[in-house]
């Protein structure tokens, strides 16, 4: 490139592409890099606060704008099952858990675009207070593309699913021991 | 040696563009989402929404269990008075700065009566220490009132309570 204008434009364009792509790649991997891990769940307790660093703030803007401070709500995200395999609508899952240390909680499934998955039942979530318990005080939710008996959460046809376990007005144990508190298991059943 | 100099310039510029993108992205994302939420409504108007469903959830990872009222605010010239009724279910009011930080939240357990009155002001307001005065770190931002829906039968009653939430612009500072 003999023309200096072409050379400068080329350098700026290449730098712009590298800069934006590297930033987007960083945000894409951010969920998995969320600091605290508990089984398949990831959480960052500084979400929504002024202590949030610029990367976390940008990551939250991509996957969950308007998160609340952790005194009000804590968001545990899962993108893998309990064996570490990615959550996908090609497989059926059994999500099993007990009581959680919060005023109320819910579990919601999202597609690869982080939005609610369309389904005829308009069912996207289960509210903890209405889930029936078994004799061991455990509840079960079935995440599957095919209708299931019981608490069925339709999974659509996405390659990557995300679960969001929201704990509103969480108890002290959630802040102090987010990595060890009992959280639901995500058990993979059959895959197609 | 010319290519080393070129590579160094590309590297430095890439880092600068990377940081600019990461810094600007939350505000830009918030602006884009708020444009969809706002529609034809004016700034400082409250909007009482329905439960989010697939296709009507402009915000990624929104909660489909919460009935939301929202308001894009601008307190640069005038403060806002927010009045809302508080139901027996979970309820909260929260404010977000333009960089998406959640700078204030109150829930039903923290409101002694069944009604809440707040004054949202900018940082130049002189009486910032007063009870019920909320200082926004940025002139513009977003407010959300959330109400938990646990059963469809309770929807009508909660919609009535939701409709009582009002945002009024007061005289200038």
> Cβ separation of B60 and A115 shorter than 8 Å?
yes
CA distance A139 to B118: 40
Contact residues, chain B, for A12 at CB < 8 Å: 13
- Does B134 have pLDDT greater than 80? yes
Evaluate if residue A49 carries a pLDDT over 80.
Answer: no
Q: Is A152 an interface residue toward B (CB < 8 Å)?
A: no
Average pLDDT of the residues of chain A: 89
Write the DSSP assignment of chain A as a string of letters: ---HHHHHHHHHHHHHHHHHHHHHHHHHTTTTT-SEEETTEEE-TTTTSTT--HHHHHHHHHH-TTPPPTTTEEEEEESB-TTSPBP-TTEEEEEEE---SEEEEEEEEE-TTSSBPP-TT---EEEGGGS---TTS-EEEEEESS--SSSEEE-TT-SS-EEEEEEEEE-HHHHH-TTTS---EEEEEEE-
Whether residues A19 and B60 touch (CB distance < 8 A) is answered with: no
- Rounded mean pLDDT of B141-148? 94
Q: What is the pLDDT of residues B109-119, one digit of tens each?
A: 999 888 999 99
Asked if B144's CB is within 8 angstroms of A61's CB, the reply is no
Cβ neighbours of A18 in B, within 8 Å: 10, 14, 17-18
Domain boundaries, chain B: 46-169
Query: Is a pLDDT exceeding 90 seen at residue A82?
Result: yes
For A100-150, the pLDDT digits (tens) are 999 999 999 999 999 999 999 999 999 998 899 999 999 999 999 999 999
Cross-chain residue pair A50–B9, CB shorter than 8 Å: no
Mean pLDDT confidence for A26-34 = 68
> Does A66 sit within 8 Å of B59, measured CB to CB?
yes
Count A/B contacts: CB-CB distance under 8 Å: 155
Determine contact: B103 vs chain A, CB below 8 A. Answer: yes
**Domain residue limits, chain A:** 36-52+66-191
pLDDT in the model for residue A183 = 96
Residue A32: predicted pLDDT: 62
Please name the CATH architecture into which domain A36-52+66-191 falls.
Answer: Sandwich (2.60)
What is B46-169's CATH topology?
Immunoglobulin-like (2.60.40)
Contacting B residues, span 54-93, partner chain A, CB-CB under 8 Å: 54-55, 57, 59-65, 90, 92
Assembly ipTM: 0.83
- Residue from A42, A65, A153, A158 whose CB has the most chain B CBs within 10 Å, to mutate: A65
Percent share of chain A, pLDDT over 90:
62
pLDDT of res. A34: 61
B11-62 pLDDT per residue, tens = 999 999 999 998 888 888 877 877 777 777 788 999 998 999 998 888 889 9
CA distance A81 to chain B (A): 19
pLDDT, position B171: 85
**CA-to-CA distance for A178 and A43, rounded, in angstroms?**
8
- B72-92 tens-digit pLDDT: 999 999 999 999 999 999 999
Asked if the C-beta of B168 comes within 8 angstroms of chain A's C-beta atoms, the answer is: no
Please report the pLDDT score of residue A5 as a whole number: 85
- Reply yes or no on whether the pLDDT at B2 is more than 90: no
Residue in B closest to A67 by C-alpha: B102
Of all helices (H) and strands (E), which one includes residue B94? strand B91-97
Task: Tell me what the mean pLDDT of segment A146-156 comes to.
Answer: 93
Min CA distance, B59 vs chain A (Å)?
Answer: 6
Looking at residue B98, its pLDDT comes to 86
Cβ within 8 Å, pair A61-B100: yes
Percent of chain A with pLDDT over 70: 93
Q: Provide the whole-model pTM.
A: 0.85
Q: Which residues of B touch A54 (CB under 8 A)?
A: 19, 22-23
Q: Residue A1: is its pLDDT beyond 60?
A: no
Read off the pLDDT band of B143 (50, 70, 90). very high
């Amino acid at each position: 490139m003999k023309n200096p204008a072409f050379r400068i434009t080329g350098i700026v364009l290449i730098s712009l592409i590298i800069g934006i792509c590297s930033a987007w790649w960083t945000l894409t991997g951010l969920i998995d890099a969320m600091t605290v891990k508990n089984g398949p769940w990831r959480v960052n307790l500084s979400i929504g606060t002024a202590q949030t660093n610029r990367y976390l703030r940008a990551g939250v803007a991509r996957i969950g704008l308007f998160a609340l401070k952790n005194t009000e709500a804590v968001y545990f995200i899962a993108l893998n099952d309990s064996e570490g395999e990615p959550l996908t609508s090609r497989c059926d899952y059994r999500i099993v858990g007990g009581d959680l240390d919060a005023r109320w909680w819910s579990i919601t499934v999202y597609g690869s675009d982080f939005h609610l998955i369309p389904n005829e039942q308009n069912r996207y979530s289960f509210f903890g207070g209405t889930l029936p318990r078994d004799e061991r005080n455990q509840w079960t939710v079935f995440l599957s593309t095919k209708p299931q008996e019981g608490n069925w959460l339709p999974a659509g046809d996405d390659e990557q699913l995300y679960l969001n376990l929201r704990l509103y007005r969480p108890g002290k144990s959630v802040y102090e021991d987010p990595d060890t508190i009992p959280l639901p298991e995500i058990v993979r059943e059959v895959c197609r | 040696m010319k290519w080393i100099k070129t590579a160094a310039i590309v590297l430095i510029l890439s880092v600068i563009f990377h940081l600019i993108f990461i810094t600007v992205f939350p505000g830009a994302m918030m602006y884009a989402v708020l444009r969809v939420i706002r529609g034809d409504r004016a700034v400082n108007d409250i909007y009482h929404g329905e439960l989010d469903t697939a296709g009507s959830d402009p915000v990624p990872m929104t909660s489909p269990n919460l009935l939301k009222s929202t308001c894009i605010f601008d307190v640069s010239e005038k403060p806002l008075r927010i009045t809302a009724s508080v139901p027996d279910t979970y309820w909260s009011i929260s404010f977000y700065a333009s960089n998406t930080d959640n700078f204030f939240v109150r829930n039903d357990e923290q409101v002694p009566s069944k009604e809440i009155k707040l004054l949202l002001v900018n940082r130049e307001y002189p009486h910032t220490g007063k009870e019920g005065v909320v200082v926004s770190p940025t002139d513009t931002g977003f407010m959300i009132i959330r109400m938990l829906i646990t059963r469809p039968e309770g929807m009508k009653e909660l919609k009535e309570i939701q409709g009582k939430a009002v945002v009024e612009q007061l005289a200038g500072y």
